[in-house]
């Protein structure tokens, strides 16, 4: 695909934002291939995402940022410009369950997901050969129940060493410490195996079975200090019946988890997600 | 449709239940048109539903019950036999919102739902002409905030007078007193406008908006003393986006509510729902 | 809801369209509440829809059109500007089946659909009382199999008399003559009871049953001279099983038909649909 | 899971079938864990599937077959009894596209699918390392456009050599010769990348794009001599919009294809599918 610049911004809603932004682009001959905007009247906030053919602009990325900066300032924008040709660096974290990890690795391998995966980190050794077959380093960082800090120190230094842009918790079953959540705000993506806010916490399929619900689901969200409470990126559900014991629910749920997580990651990699407060705007 | 007897039973799971029941039917020449069974190993319980062409058996309904009774007793069954030609008597209760009521009335009027609707009860007068156009009596029983007991006494005596088999709370926004819930166990059907157990209680669409979920839903359940906690009959969801303010969610949710409620009522009318503990088996 | 102007346009894709349009709006102080755009690279065409708070512009509708006209011309736009406060005039046509008609009447009655319904036209008399209860004139225009032209002459003169903006074929089972299709291009909406292009023509549920499909659907589309071939507005499906005979499929399909048709009409009324060739762009 | 016998049968519908079968089972102390039946009045045919705990019967598989045989004969049954502990032998065939193959291999590897995969056959060499990582032999049998018979002779002898019970065409893009279809009636499962009968034949996503449909789908079916016309096992769809060019439709469709194919194969492996004429009964 042709190289694109992606301009993503949010600011207080005011007359003229779109005009100012689109003028800026067209005055430099920029060719827009995709554009979305959203006004949220309940909070008076405006969101926008534009994809511009890179070769249609007379700028390199840094120049573009510099040129746009005065507009951003005058409208008090939170903004970023990214380059579609630069893959984000994604660290995958997993535990023992392989379905989400295998799914993401396959989508990476088949070029469906455009990113780099510099390494996989796990608190177990089970999934090593699967990962290494993809020529990706596998780091086993065990958890000592009585001293979890060691584990997280190890994780932290790997994230730093590999210079990750995104961390995906692909059924990594440990609760991250607050400082890690804060350092990587809106950069850590988790898949929770329930349709949140139902069945937060442990063993959601068993909780769902006990309650007798007729649909089960999965939720992809950014990780914050508040467990299972971060901004929701995507959710989906699947129908079950009285015949389904928890084991079948676990099996059926896996496909939902995989699809929701890979979709959420894809949107993140394409800079389609904007976060405001505890909610997301997803331009898909 | 040809007249059918519907035999519905639940009992401790034992070898020979199906053989005993099907022998009984076939030894009298009974022609089975529909049959379902379910064993739940987690509770050791067995559930079954059989539809038999009435004219293929040499019994009237009472004789059939009498003839089957010894088998039922020997297997400690909870059971009932109903006659598909006898419409159940369904009282609809509503408040001011008309969508569920109008939907059920239409399905009744177009013969999609086979039942009698002896009356509609409401705490407001708004929906009178819509109901009366269908030649159904409309009873306005106002609620006095400081003395709700009066209201429920009125409701109770109407239910008794009309000899209701089923009571449908079609967005009737009052909490029923415990004694009413107990008197009509598994006979009162409610529609809750959220995907329970998420967003129980008041204003679920606003709760959903605040949490930023990506799907909203509705839940049809039997009413018990524990508000929004009764056995779930059916649920469904619809996708929403960041664009949807609570008003749009209310509008989109209405169609889900209507579909889920009418489906649940239909299954109840056709004796397809068996309740065990706080969960349902739905043979659909 | 606050009064809005809706600007809807399509034109050859060129640098600067968005800038020009948004400049025009913001230079007059116009406050945009909703905006969508779409470039289709396969045909080199650009589509846009903008909602502007009417009171934020110093124009009445005609002045706005006049002011925008030069821009439209310079970009060779196909365009229209409508006023959200002016209801479109929708004539409903039906035959004997009531479910789509009843659904649309209810949504109109409950103000979910913002439009006028000046009359209902049918080739049968069956649905008269239902329509008249809504205070809408009902015109019975019978069809003589040997002289259908008479029927269509009657229909045509009613459409003219009532000055319809939109005609909805709510399970009206006659094939419109070519001249009527041409006179009301992209103004006649039909619901077909299959997931087109599967099972075009008569008795689609029976065709679906014969083929043994596992999902059935419905398709809302604009009517053209080519029967069941017009631009598709929306589609949806529902799962069925081997248990479902054609009669059950008809019953299950009704809910899909109702939902798809009302959704398509709603989008049309809100000027969310742009047609190009035989395909639609739906900004929803 | 405990070992089970699976009795699957179809016969002309008559009073007493269920009684006879369940008597036979219970008279030998057989414990039924799962049972389904279906009468199709339109063809007067009866279908049944029963799972029995193997250890509750005093029979080995052959004895059970012998003991049941007289009943089968007296009711003119088409029937089979299988043993849940004996894995079916599944040959996967693929071309260049890896998504369905990778998905099935993963489900096999993670023990979600209970079967043996004695080999993978492909007309290209691309997917060799992926297959061999799973310790499964990979046979590259090239296709010579001018002499396809060579290819199919090679395929046929591999199928024979490995003694396959099932052949899965996991996006294997060649049309099988008639004799192969006939030899393996209801043993060859294909995934077609459209919601059949729409868009049979080549490049279905491009056909779907040209027609402007709003949902795309996939169909899992048994292969017969009539291309894309065999008995449908399962189908599913996903929503698309005007934004989706054929490439995106291909990407989105892959997940539907994977899910539908793996579900269909699973049902086949568990003997849940009965074929009658060109239609399936699926007891799931």
Q: Which two tokens stand for residue B88?
A: 């159940």
The pLDDT score that the predictor gives to residue A227 is 84
D20 to chain B: which residues are within 8 Å by CB? 26
- Which residue segment(s) compose the domain that A121 sits in? 88-282
Q: Percentage of residues in chain D with pLDDT exceeding 70?
A: 100
Contacting partners of chain D (3+ CB pairs under 8 A): A, B, C
Query: Is residue B1 predicted with pLDDT exceeding 80?
Result: no
3-class SS of residue D3 = coil
Contact D280 C242 (CB under 8 A): yes
Contact A15 C31 (CB under 8 A): yes
Would you give per-residue pLDDT tens digits along chain D (284 residues)? 789 999 999 999 999 999 999 999 999 999 998 899 999 988 999 999 999 999 999 999 999 999 999 999 999 999 999 999 999 999 999 999 999 999 999 999 999 999 999 999 999 999 999 999 999 999 999 999 898 999 999 999 999 999 999 999 999 989 999 999 999 999 999 999 999 999 998 999 999 999 999 999 999 999 999 888 999 999 999 999 999 999 999 999 999 999 999 999 999 999 999 999 999 999 98
Q: Which two tokens stand for residue D9?
A: 């049968």
The nearest CA of chain D is from the CA of C77 a distance in Å of 19
Q: Which of D98, D99, D133 sits opposite A133 (nearest CB)?
A: D133
The CATH number given to whatever domain includes residue B217 is 3.40.50.170
Q: Which of A231, A245, A281 sits opposite B42 (nearest CB)?
A: A245
Which phi and psi (to 5°) does residue D117 adopt? -120, 90
| Strand A188-192 with A166-169, pairing | parallel
Contact B106 C110 (CB under 8 A): no
Of the candidates D189, D204, D206, D184, which has an alpha carbon nearest to the alpha carbon of residue D269? D189
Check whether residue D232 and residue D115 sit in a common domain. Answer: yes
**Span A30-49, average pLDDT:** 93
The pLDDT score that the predictor gives to residue C227 is 84
Contact B98 C110 (CB under 8 A): yes
Check whether residue D180 and residue D278 sit in a common domain. Answer: yes
Contacts 24+ apart (CB under 8 A), B143-150: B143/B174, B148/B174, B148/B177, B149/B177
pLDDT confidence band for B34 (50 / 70 / 90): confident
CB D237 within 8 A of CB D215: yes
Contact B22 D26 (CB under 8 A): no
Contact A278 B212 (CB under 8 A): yes
pTM score of the predicted model: 0.96
Q: Which two tokens stand for residue C248?
A: 């059950």
Provide the CA C237 distance to its chain's centre, in angstroms: 19
pLDDT tens figures, C71-127: 999 999 999 999 999 999 999 999 999 999 999 999 999 999 999 999 999 999 999
DSSP for A167-184? EEESS--SPPPHHHHHHT
Looking at D44, D62, D83, which one is the last position of a domain? D83
B249 to chain C: which residues are within 8 Å by CB? none
Average pLDDT, chain A: 96
Q: Which residues 63-102 in chain A show a CB within 8 A of chain D?
A: 98-99, 102
Is C103 an interface residue toward D (CB < 8 Å)? no
Q: Which two tokens stand for residue A139?
A: 């780091």
User: Where is B64: in which H helix or E strand?
Assistant: helix B61-74
pLDDT confidence band for B227 (50 / 70 / 90): confident
End-to-end CA distance of chain C: 18
Q: A-D interface: how many C-beta pairs under 8 angstroms?
A: 20
**Span A237-245, average pLDDT:** 96
A243 to chain B: which residues are within 8 Å by CB? 38
Check whether residue A27 and residue A153 sit in a common domain. Answer: no
Of the candidates D90, D272, D112, D263, which has an alpha carbon nearest to the alpha carbon of residue D167? D90
Check whether residue A101 and residue A221 sit in a common domain. Answer: yes
Could you count the other beta carbons within 10 Å of the beta carbon of residue B76?
A: 11
The pLDDT score that the predictor gives to residue C120 is 98
The nearest CA of chain B is from the CA of C88 a distance in Å of 20
Q: How many domains does chain A have?
A: 2
CB B201 within 8 A of CB B249: no
Contacting partners of chain B (3+ CB pairs under 8 A): A, C, D
Contact D15 B29 (CB under 8 A): yes
Is D259 an interface residue toward B (CB < 8 Å)? no
The pLDDT score that the predictor gives to residue C207 is 95
* Length of chain D, in residues: 284
Query: Is residue B24 predicted with pLDDT exceeding 80?
Result: yes
pLDDT tens figures, C7-37: 999 999 999 999 999 999 999 999 998 899 9
The nearest CA of chain C is from the CA of B195 a distance in Å of 20
Is D278 an interface residue toward C (CB < 8 Å)? yes
Provide the CA B168 distance to its chain's centre, in angstroms: 7
Exactly one of D83, D144, D210, D228 is catalytic; name it.
Answer: D228
Is C126 an interface residue toward B (CB < 8 Å)? no
Check whether residue B248 and residue B107 sit in a common domain. Answer: yes
| Strand B273-276 with C215-222, pairing | unpaired
Exactly one of A103, A165, A226, A228 is catalytic; name it.
Answer: A228
B42 to chain A: which residues are within 8 Å by CB? 245
Distance CA C10, CA C21 (A): 12
Check whether residue A51 and residue A101 sit in a common domain. Answer: no
Check whether residue B166 and residue B228 sit in a common domain. Answer: yes
pLDDT confidence band for A214 (50 / 70 / 90): very high
Instruction: Mark whether C40 is an active-site residue.
Output: no
The nearest CA of chain B is from the CA of D38 a distance in Å of 7
Distance CA B143, CA B154 (A): 10
Most C CBs within 10 Å: which of A7, A12, A18, A58, as the mutation test of the C interface? Answer: A18
Looking at B58, B83, B108, which one is the last position of a domain? B83
CB B201 within 8 A of CB B228: yes
Could you count the other beta carbons within 10 Å of the beta carbon of residue D161?
A: 11
Of the candidates C235, C236, C210, C232, which has an alpha carbon nearest to the alpha carbon of residue C222? C232
Of the candidates B243, B248, B266, which has an alpha carbon nearest to the alpha carbon of residue B206? B248
Check whether residue C121 and residue C251 sit in a common domain. Answer: yes
Check whether residue C231 and residue C104 sit in a common domain. Answer: yes
Contact A110 D98 (CB under 8 A): yes
pLDDT confidence band for A218 (50 / 70 / 90): very high
- Closest residue in C to B100 (Cα) is C106
Check whether residue B126 and residue B139 sit in a common domain. Answer: yes
The pLDDT score that the predictor gives to residue B54 is 96
Q: Which of B106, B110, B133 sits opposite C133 (nearest CB)?
A: B133
Check whether residue D39 and residue D71 sit in a common domain. Answer: yes
Looking at D51, D83, D115, which one is the last position of a domain? D83
DSSP letter for A114, please: -
Query: Is residue C1 predicted with pLDDT exceeding 80?
Result: no
Q: C137: left (phi > 0), else alpha (psi -120 to 50), else beta?
A: beta
The nearest CA of chain B is from the CA of A202 a distance in Å of 16
Check whether residue D273 and residue D218 sit in a common domain. Answer: yes
A249 to chain B: which residues are within 8 Å by CB? none
Average pLDDT, chain C: 96
D217 to chain C: which residues are within 8 Å by CB? 215
Q: Which of C16, C27, C35 sits opposite A18 (nearest CB)?
A: C35
Q: Which of A98, A133, A255 sits opposite D259 (nearest CB)?
A: A255
The CATH number given to whatever domain includes residue C75 is 3.30.70.260
Distance CA B108, CA A91 (A): 57
pLDDT tens figures, B149-186: 999 999 999 999 999 999 999 999 899 999 999 999 99
Distance CA A173, CA A157 (A): 19
- Closest residue in B to C101 (Cα) is B106
The nearest CA of chain B is from the CA of A48 a distance in Å of 13
């Amino acid at each position: 695909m042709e190289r694109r610049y992606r301009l993503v911004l949010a600011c207080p809603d005011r007359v003229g934002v779109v005009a100012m932004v689109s003028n800026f682009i067209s005055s430099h001959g920029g060719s827009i291939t995709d554009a979305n905007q959203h006004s949220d009247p309940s909070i008076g906030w405006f969101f926008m995402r534009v994809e511009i053919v890179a070769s249609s602009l007379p700028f390199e990325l840094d120049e573009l940022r510099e040129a746009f900066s005065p507009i951003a300032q005058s409208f008090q924008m939170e903004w970023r410009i990214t380059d579609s040709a630069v893959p984000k660096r994604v660290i995958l974290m997993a535990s023992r369950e392989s379905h989400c990890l295998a799914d993401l690795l396959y989508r990476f391998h088949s070029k469906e997901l455009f990113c780099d995966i510099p390494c996989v980190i796990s608190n177990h050794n089970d999934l090593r050969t699967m990962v290494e077959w993809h020529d990706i380093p596998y780091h086993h960082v065990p958890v000592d129940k009585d001293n979890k800090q060691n584990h997280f120190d190890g994780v932290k230094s790997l994230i730093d060493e590999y210079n990750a842009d995104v961390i995906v918790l692909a059924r990594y079953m440990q609760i991250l410490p607050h400082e890690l959540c804060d350092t990587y705000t809106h950069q850590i993506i988790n898949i929770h195996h329930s349709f949140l806010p139902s069945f937060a916490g442990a063993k959601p399929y068993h909780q769902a079975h006990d309650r007798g619900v007729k649909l089960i689901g999965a939720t992809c969200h950014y990780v914050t200090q508040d467990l299972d409470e971060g901004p929701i990126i995507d959710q989906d559900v699947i129908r079950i019946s009285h015949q389904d014991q928890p084991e079948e629910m676990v099996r059926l749920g896996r496909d939902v988890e995989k699809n929701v997580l890979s979709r959420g990651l894809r949107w993140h990699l394409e800079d389609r997600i904007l976060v405001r407060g505890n909610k997301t705007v997803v331009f898909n």
